[in-house]
């Protein structure tokens, strides 16, 4: 087992302990359904409107990049995916991004509940 594999396994284990649901359902209609550790979060997003700096907040589902790659290799989260976390359904809208504050280790998926 390589060092990268060991780090991915450690990251997945720690994330599962911190998550709202260690066995949340992540699915893509007519493509796949799997379980991942996931949690609801709210993050700041910067931007500008008419030249004015704006700060907005987004509701997101946070999942581990390492676990996502383990469960669905080369199929990162995308708009339209569905998460069921602790019985609460959330649909991904927009493009998920990797959290730069976590060195890209987590996917942040903007959702509507």
> Left if phi > 0, otherwise alpha if psi is -120 to 50, otherwise beta: which for 43?
beta
> Left if phi > 0, otherwise alpha if psi is -120 to 50, otherwise beta: which for 52?
beta
User: What is the tens place of the pLDDT at every residue in 13-67?
Assistant: 888 888 999 999 999 999 999 999 999 999 987 777 788 877 788 899 999 999 9
Distance of alpha carbon 1 from alpha carbon 9, whole angstroms = 10
pLDDT at 56: 80
| Sign of the CA dihedral running 62, 67, 68, 74 | positive
pLDDT at 14: 84
């Amino acid at each position: 087992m390589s060092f990268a594999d060991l780090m991915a396994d450690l990251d997945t284990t720690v994330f599962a302990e911190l998550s709202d649901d260690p066995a949340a359902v992540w699915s893509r209609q007519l493509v796949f359904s799997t379980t991942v550790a996931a949690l609801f979060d709210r993050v700041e997003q910067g931007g500008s409107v008419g030249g004015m700096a704006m700060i907005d907040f987004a509701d997101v589902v946070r999942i581990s990049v390492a676990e996502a790659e383990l469960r669905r290799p080369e199929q990162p989260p995308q708009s339209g995916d569905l998460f069921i976390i602790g019985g609460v359904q959330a649909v991904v809208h927009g493009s998920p991004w990797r959290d730069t504050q976590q060195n890209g280790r987590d996917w942040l998926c903007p959702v509507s509940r």
